[in-house]
Amino acid sequence: MPESKQPRAVFLIGFMGAGKTSVGRALARRLRWRFVDLDDRIEARAGRSIAAIFAESGEEAFRQAETAALRDLLGELHVERPAVVALGGGAPVRKENAELLTACGELLVFLDAPFEVVRARCRATPTERPLIREPEPARQLYEDRRPHYLKASLRVDTASQSVEQAAAEIAMALSLEARKENQ
């Protein structure tokens, strides 16, 4: 494959609790790629947690910070090692971000699981997620976002398999091979 055709990134999308961070880490380990969590970037840039950004500045401020972090990340893809990127659940839904992702031409993978599963996972983790506190609005958000997530080139079920199995499925479906030490 010519150098220019090698993927520079795989973006993992899906609802909160779909497994983007855990599967992303496992996939990055498997491929010897970098792992980037966009939420971590946003928090580092802002110097405060996502929950604090929502509480103190509101969702729109968070969305603007998210788009700025995504732009930065896309700008560095050609100079850094390839990356597995976990995007926040709302990131691919915003039109501006969807256009940036389409324009960059990299791979998008939808991690999918039923609402009850993602909600239970979110409740079991310490990360504070402002948009999943109340079950009914969260369920509606889940339904509204699904069509956006389904635009990804690959859908992987994370409810019926382990993190490692999901990572292996992605690598195999996209024919991604582990980076050699000297690449």
The span from the CA of 118 to the CA of 89, in Å, is 11
Q: Binding to ligand S3P by residue 131, rule CB under 6 A?
A: yes
**Which CB, 8 or 20, lies closer to ligand S3P?**
20
Residues 90-129 vs ligand S3P: string with x where CB under 6 A?
x--------------------------------------x
Q: From the list 33, 88, 111, 113, which residue makes contact with ligand S3P (rule: CB under 6 A)?
A: 88
| Three-state SS annotation for the chain | CCHHHCCCEEEEECCCCCCHHHHHHHHHHHHCCEEEEHHHHHHHHHCCCHHHHHHHHCHHHHHHHHHHHHHHHHHHCCCCCCEEEECCCCHHHCHHHHHHHHHHCCEEEEEECCHHHHHHHHHHCCCCCHHHCCHHHHHHHHHHHHHHHCCCCEEEECCCCCHHHHHHHHHHHCCCCCCCCCC
Nearest approach in angstroms of CB 131 to ligand S3P is 5
Chain position carrying tokens 């079950």: 135
**Which CB, 119 or 129, lies closer to ligand S3P?**
129
Nearest approach in angstroms of CB 1 to ligand S3P is 31
**Which CB, 28 or 131, lies closer to ligand S3P?**
131
Nearest approach in angstroms of CB 11 to ligand S3P is 12
Residues 36-75 vs ligand S3P: string with x where CB under 6 A?
---x----------x-------------------------
Q: Which residues bind ligand S3P (CB under 6 A)?
A: 16, 20, 39, 50, 88-90, 129-131
